[in-house]
């Protein structure tokens, strides 16, 4: 992980903006899919794929690569768009999202797109797969490689999530870093109305994790959080990234109704115009 | 007579036939698999003695993970370990795994194509006194319906050992069904075992069989005993061990139906969706013959001794003989 200069931050901002535009375009083209979480996590994904991750888009099966587990598979438009921008496949292919025969399935599937580490969609099972990866690496004393798990706040409702949290704490998996998209929404409403999660940081702490909170749209703060995670021993690490759902399109920001729907063509054009102003 | 080509246990008809729990063969096989391949790892949900995983945990403590009572985590963590090149075996009671964690098995193992072996112990009604809550009668159906997963139900401890060793060497995910009770030893170390192969264990001394008996798991022993008694009564049968429920040996099943024109299936499982259903699917399409199904008829179990329960739910030797006679009458 290299130093994050101000110049690099400006580049990342531009890339994240381009990724947001592609997310809009692909969702409009697909006619279905999840908008809010994908737009909300664009900054986090950009930072990871363009600054943090040890990976090689031209050699996706490189053994020493860091592993990325996307637990909340429904935000895959941001994963696909970020992967395309980092060179795994063409940006043109993004238009095939959710289409018959496409590699970009509605929720990620390894059989169709082998570049993803896990097939996902059903919530609450990603962290435990990441725990399994981290355990295997600990067993083999391969601790340089990091296991990153991107997960949602809503999937804390799932019991499986807490089973994974417990086991990682027990086994002191400091090669495991969970990144929680704390955007406070899920399909049916705001998380604190559906199933209150707060005090979320205290919950993770009490399960023997090292907890870091950061603004999920501040590249410098996020980068510092990851640096702190890398300096942590004896505990698994969770970065609670506070994000704004649908970030970048003012009219949609914060509204849970955008969780599981795509923009219409007109709404998409309006959003693209707004994002164009950031150039 | 016992199939002379398979080197089966010649003492199987003795009163004092050796009896060993099927799960013990799993435990022993896992140790051997662990010796053969350092990537074999074991995960258990707080039941190491019951599932006989303690044998592996004692020998390879650094490759054993105690999961606590968390079956959803059990299989998903195993999936993650498999992604890093490990060959994980996960053990619990079948009611909990694959019972409680079915969707996790579907998504993170079968759909995700990760080599994980799920061992479900205490399957069937013969769990006995623990009662209906702990008697898994649906696990074959739950696993059989998933694409990309093999389903193996060994007939005794020796076969369970061989199946476990074999499953550590295949690429596909698998479910292995184990029973709690001591089960008579039918096979020997020399008896061949192959995933996907059905075998005829009992056959007429001369001539063709009139009824084909297809059994899986511990009830195979009762099927062989029944077949021997039926022979004395002048009814010739063949008994097939269908321990490999999936992949299903369609060819051997069709061959048996063509010879006998009447089949009965025997399993400690719900009739709906179980091994008998798999046989019926093959025959309905390829060679329809009358079939009688021995198993649980849409009920839950209860407490009792294994023998009491097997008799009560119609899976004992006499019920098998009755079913053979019934299907004989249905022959066209």
Q: Are B27 and B56 in contact (CB under 8 A)?
A: yes
Nearest CA in chain A to B63: A139
What's the mean pLDDT in A227-233?
97
pLDDT digits (tens, 9 = 90+) for A178-224: 999 999 999 999 999 999 999 999 999 999 999 999 999 999 999 99
pLDDT in tens, chain B (332 residues): 999 999 999 999 999 999 999 999 999 999 999 999 999 999 999 999 999 999 999 999 999 999 999 999 999 999 999 999 999 999 999 999 999 999 999 999 999 999 999 999 999 999 999 999 999 999 999 999 999 999 999 999 999 999 999 999 999 999 999 999 999 999 999 999 999 999 999 999 999 999 999 999 999 999 999 999 999 999 999 999 999 999 999 999 999 999 999 999 999 999 999 999 999 999 999 999 999 999 999 999 999 999 999 999 999 999 999 999 999 999 97
Residues of B in contact with A159 (CB under 8 A): 72
B123: DSSP letter: B
Judge: B112–A132 Cβ closer than 8 Å, yes or no.
Answer: no
Check pLDDT > 70 for residue A279.
no
Considering the domain B196-330 in this protein, what is its CATH number? Answer: 3.40.50.920
Report yes or no on A137 lying in a domain. yes
Check pLDDT > 90 for residue A247.
yes
Number of Cα atoms under 13 Å in the Cβ half of residue A126: 31
Q: Chain B interface, mutation test: which of A64, A122, A132, most B Cβ atoms within 10 Å?
A: A132
CB-based contacts of A228: which residues, under 8 Å, 6+ apart? Answer: A212, A237
pLDDT digits (tens, 9 = 90+) for A53-94: 999 999 999 999 999 999 999 999 999 999 999 999 999 999
Check pLDDT > 90 for residue A6.
yes
Cα separation, B2 vs B176, in Å, equals 25
- What's the gap in Å between the CA of A63 and the closest CA on chain B? 9
CATH of the domain at A51: 3.40.50.970
Judge: B72–A159 Cβ closer than 8 Å, yes or no.
Answer: yes
Find the CB nearest B78 among A132, A134, A140.
Answer: A132
Lookup: tokens for B11: 């003492």
Which of B49, B71, B194, B322 is catalytic? The answer is B71
Find the CB nearest A132 among B77, B103, B107.
Answer: B77
Cα separation, B276 vs A90, in Å, equals 50
Judge: B83–A163 Cβ closer than 8 Å, yes or no.
Answer: no
Q: Is B104 on the interface with A (CB under 8 A)?
A: yes
pLDDT digits (tens, 9 = 90+) for A214-229: 999 999 999 999 999 9
**How many secondary structure helices (H) and strands (E) does chain A include?**
10, 7
Judge: B81–A136 Cβ closer than 8 Å, yes or no.
Answer: yes
Report yes or no on A1 lying in a domain. no
Q: What DSSP line would sit under B130-158, residue for residue?
A: G-GGG-B-SHHHHHHTSTT-EEE--SSHH
Lookup: tokens for A174: 């400091």
Count structural domains, chain A.
1
Question: 187-226 in B: which are within 8 Å (CB) of A?
Answer: none
Report yes or no on A86 lying in a domain. yes
Nearest CA in chain A to B106: A122
Report yes or no on A156 lying in a domain. yes
Per DSSP, the three-state class of B245 is strand
Report yes or no on A148 lying in a domain. yes
Percent of chain B at pLDDT exceeding 90? 100
Q: Chain B interface, mutation test: which of A65, A128, A131, A161, most B Cβ atoms within 10 Å?
A: A128
* Range list for CATH 3.40.50.920 in chain B: 196-330
Report yes or no on A116 lying in a domain. yes
Nearest CA in chain A to B69: A163
Q: Is B90 on the interface with A (CB under 8 A)?
A: no
Which value, in Å, is the radius of gyration of the alpha carbons in chain B?
Answer: 19
Closest CA to B274 of B292, B293, B257, B300: B293
Report yes or no on A18 lying in a domain. yes
* Catalytic status, residue B268: no
Q: Are B101 and A158 in contact (CB under 8 A)?
A: no
Which pLDDT score is estimated for A143? 83
Percent of chain A at pLDDT exceeding 70? 99
Q: Find the DSSP H helices in A143-262.
A: 159-170, 191-194, 200-206, 219-230
* Range of the structural domain that residue A197 is part of: 6-276
* Look-up of token digits 């899986």: B216
Q: Are B141 and B270 in contact (CB under 8 A)?
A: yes
Fold of B19-184: Rossmann fold (3.40.50)
Count of A-B CB contacts under 8 Å: 96
């Amino acid at each position: 992980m290299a130093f994050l200069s101000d110049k690099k931050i400006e580049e990342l901002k531009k890339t994240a903006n381009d990724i947001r535009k592609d997310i809009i375009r692909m969702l409009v083209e697909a006619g279905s899919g999840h908008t809010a979480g994908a737009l909300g996590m664009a900054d986090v994904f950009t930072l990871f794929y363009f600054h943090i991750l040890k990976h090689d888009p031209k050699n996706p099966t490189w053994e020493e690569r860091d592993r990325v587990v996307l637990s909340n598979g429904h935000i895959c438009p941001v994963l696909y768009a970020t992967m395309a921008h980092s060179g795994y496949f063409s940006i043109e292919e993004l238009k095939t999202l959710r289409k018959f025969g496409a590699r970009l399935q509605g929720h990620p599937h390894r059989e169709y797109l082998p570049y993803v580490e896990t097939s996902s969609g059903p919530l609450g099972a990603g962290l435990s797969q990441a725990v399994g990866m981290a355990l295997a690496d600990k067993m083999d004393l391969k601790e340089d490689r990091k296991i990153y798990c991107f997960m949602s706040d809503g999937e804390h409702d799932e019991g499986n999530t807490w089973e994974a949290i417990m086991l990682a704490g027990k086994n002191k998996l400091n090669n495991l870093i969970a990144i929680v998209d704390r955007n406070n929404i899920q399909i049916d409403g705001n998380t604190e109305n559906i199933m209150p999660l707060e005090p979320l940081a205290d919950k993770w702490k009490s399960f023997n994790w090292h907890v870091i909170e950061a603004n999920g749209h501040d590249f410098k703060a996020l980068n510092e959080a990851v640096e702190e995670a890398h300096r942590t021993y004896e505990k698994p690490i969770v970065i609670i990234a506070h994000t704004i759902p649908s970030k970048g399109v003012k009219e949609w920001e914060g509204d849970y109704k955008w969780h599981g729907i795509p923009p219409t063509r007109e709404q998409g054009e309006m959003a693209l115009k707004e994002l164009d102003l950031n150039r | 007579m016992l199939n002379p080509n398979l080197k089966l246990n010649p003492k199987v008809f003795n009163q004092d036939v050796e009896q060993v729990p099927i799960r013990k063969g799993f435990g022993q096989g896992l140790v051997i698999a662990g010796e053969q391949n350092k990537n074999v790892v074991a995960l258990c949900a707080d039941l190491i003695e019951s599932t006989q995983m303690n044998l592996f945990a004692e020998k390879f403590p650094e490759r054993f993970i105690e999961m606590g009572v968390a079956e959803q985590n059990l299989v998903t963590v195993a999936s993650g370990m498999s992604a890093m090149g490990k060959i994980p075996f996960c053990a619990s009671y079948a009611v909990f795994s694959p019972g409680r964690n079915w969707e996790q098995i579907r998504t993170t193992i079968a759909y995700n194509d990760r080599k994980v072996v799920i061992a479900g112990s205490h399957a069937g009604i013969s769990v006995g006194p623990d009662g209906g809550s702990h008697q898994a009668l649906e696990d074959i159906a739950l696993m059989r319906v998933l694409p990309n997963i093999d389903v193996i139900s060994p007939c005794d401890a020796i076969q369970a050992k061989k199946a476990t060793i074999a499953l550590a060497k295949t690429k596909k995910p698998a479910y292995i069904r184990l029973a709690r009770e001591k089960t008579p030893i039918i096979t020997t170390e020399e008896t061949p075992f192959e995933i996907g192969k059905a075998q005829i264990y009992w056959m007429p001394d001369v001539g063709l069989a009139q009824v084909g008996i297809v059994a899986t798991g511990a009830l195979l022993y009762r099927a062989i005993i029944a077949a021997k008694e039926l022979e004395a009564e002048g009814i010739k049968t063949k008994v097939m061990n269908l321990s490999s429920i999936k992949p299903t040996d369609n060819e051997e099943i069709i061959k048996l139906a063509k010879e006998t024109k009447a089949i009965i299936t025997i399993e400690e499982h719900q009739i709906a969706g179980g091994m008998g259903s798999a046989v019926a699917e093959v025959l309905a399409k390829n060679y329809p013959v009358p079939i009688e199904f021995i198993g649980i008829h849409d009920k839950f179990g209860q407490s009792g001794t294994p023998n009491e329960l097997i008799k009560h739910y119609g899976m004992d030797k006499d019920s098998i003989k009755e079913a053979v006679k019934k299907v004989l009458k249905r022959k066209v």
